[in-house]
Amino acid sequence: MLVFHSPLSLLHDPPHEILSGCLQPYFESPERYYRILSALVGPTLSSAAAAATAAGSHVGPWRAEERRLEWTRDEVLTSELDRAVRAVHDGEYLDFLREIYDEWVAEGGSKDAALPETFLRGDMLLEPASVGDGSDGKGSAIARIGRHSFDLSAPITADTYICALASTRVALSALSALLDPDSPSPRRGVFALCRPPGHHATPRLCGGYCFLNSAAVAAREAQRLLAERRAPPTPGGGGTSDMPRVAVLDVDYHHGNGTSQTFYADPSVLYVSLHGSPDYPYYTGAASEEGAPGAEGTNVNVPLPLGTDDDAYVEALERAVDRVRDWGPEVLVVSYVSHAPPSSVLTPPPSLSRSGQARAHRPEPDLTRPTNPRARARAASASTPSVATR
């Protein structure tokens, strides 16, 4: 497996966040980038692979080949990357990410990082139609950040925008390798080490350590690339029914609200999420969220109670895998996020045991259409420093 990463991922390093009412050191730190990379391409087995090997299971050691992407800050944003990001994210939001830190500091905000003080909510407006006429705080950086954030765990520094772009380009670089028609042999999977992570970022909001949704951008770009290679559409064709099918399997501990929202009304993208419940982001991830009218059944949430044990988790994962297989995607994007031990405030007990991780991480059969064997991309991220298992 090819492992893609960029050292620019280290630039985003806020000193703090507000968590559980306290000012705390930033959990999603550069340290986890080193730990995940070491687990993937280092000389030792990952913890899950080691546990599986000890148990006699056919998992690991990982045979990974590193792809270190050396870009300068000025080289990151290309026209291709800009097009791909704008296929998911709103242009006003992208302007916000690019401009907000300098505006924040110019207004007297802390140079450490920009964080919201007030959040824009529709139900607090006396005249909803007035939004956009200047009374919504768009002229103030301190107010503007509350317009495009949904929590206090996404502080924005001078390097956040460039770092988020680099993270997304890492995912697209992995996708390009996966679908490369000139590759000497089909690849069953690639791994993109994306930092900052992405699956909580919506088209217009940052939060949950996420700024640009790398998994969603990769999924949408996969559709574009596959569509370009198809024969010309039949007369009268067009629309989402003619789009190549793509699936996103999200096995982060938390629900990927951003990815879910991005594709909620799109019948050509299947989103399947396994996540702890009740837990962050609290207001999304219910099993009743099945997709908007016209896309029913393409959003599949599997909320798991906090007492879920190994057997129940693996059974739920197998059902999710079956759902993806039945969907028959041409490309599968796996959002995998490595979390901290059970003592973490972000991941309350219980969590998977080592043997449970080994069972969950065993090599899966090809879940994509037989006509497209190069079809699995993994976008990895993490919320706390930990040893990644994938």
SS3 state at 177:
helix
Question: What whole-number distance in Å separates Cα of residue 221 and Cα of residue 274?
Answer: 24
Q: What H or E segment, with its residue span, contains residue 84? A: helix 79-86
Question: What whole-number distance in Å separates Cα of residue 65 and Cα of residue 174?
Answer: 12
Nearest to 220 by CA among 258, 263, 255: 263
Q: What is the DSSP string of 353-364?
A: -HHHHHHHTSPP
Residues 5, 200, 255, 361: which is the catalytic one? 200
Annotated catalytic residue 200: yes
Q: Are the CB atoms for 160 and 178 separated by under 8 Å? A: no
Q: Are the CB atoms for 153 and 182 separated by under 8 Å? A: no
Question: Can you say whether residue 250 is alpha, beta or left, with left for phi > 0 and alpha for psi between -120 and 50 degrees?
Answer: beta
Question: What whole-number distance in Å separates Cα of residue 29 and Cα of residue 52?
Answer: 28
Amino acid at 68: R
What is the distance of C-alpha 272 from the center of its chain?
13
Q: Which residue has the tokens 């607090």?
A: 124
> Which residues are the active-site residues?
200
